[in-house]
Amino acid sequence: MNIDFNLDGKIVVITGASKGIGAGISKELAIAGAIVILCARNTEQLNELKNEIEKENGIAHVFQLDVSAVNQIEQVFKSIYEQFGRIDILINNAGLGYNHAATDVSEADWDEMMNVNLKGLFFCSQQAGKYMIKNGYGRIINMSSQASLVAIKDHAVYCATKGGVNLLTKVLALEWADKGITVNGIAPTFTYTTGTAERLDNPEYLESVLDRIPVGKVATIKDIASAILYLTSSHSDMVNGTTLVIDGGWTIQ
């Protein structure tokens, strides 16, 4: 069997692409041949990423997008579709994660995280889904978390949003399966990025994390990108509505 996971010429929209996992997977998917559409609020960071991708002969385009603003989502996805004629893949990566003791959560805390992690993800999927239905093809990958499957202390709101992501993934997968669209999720554990390096480079903090991960290491960007390549390839045509857990065994305990 010829195993091919390249994304040559695919139009891939990535939200929250300006930093962290979003920036990392954008680079990896560009290397795999995708035309990456970088979306986030910070266009300065997006343009820096675009330049990095182009230095490696990749193709990237920048669109400013605040996923908590539904009118912006509609405008941006319309612009992308008009410019490129299709949206093949959507990676719903934009997300917030804060520590809040349950007794300290304010209404503003709740609304901010729900608006980005859940509302934004849904309406990005809705807009991409409309255009994917027109073209009879699409792959949507929702970034969930191990916190969608097990309780994490001081993360009541975050866990609630990611649990919601898992169920939205199932519903959208069910509604759009006969339209040539699959919808799946990825639930990573702690992942080493420039944003998490400060904590994970601290030996004591790292040890506290690794105590919960049976394989004895944190995830990497390549771990996440490899899962995306699988879920967006023809090899995963029968995978729909599932959330692939990339946690080294954290949630089996």
DSSP state of 241: S
- Give me the residues paired with residue 13 across strands: 37, 90
CA 243: distance to chain centroid? 12
Of these residues, 81, 98, 137, 158, which one is catalytic?
158
Edge-to-edge order in the sheet of strand 89-92: 59-64, 35-40, 11-15, 89-92, 138-143, 181-188, 243-246
Q: Where are the alpha helices (DSSP H) in 97-235?
A: 107-114, 121-135, 156-176, 197-200, 203-210, 221-231
- Closest by alpha carbon to 25, among 218, 252, 191, 202? 191
Query: Does 158 participate in catalysis according to the annotation?
Result: yes
Catalytic residue positions, numbered:
158
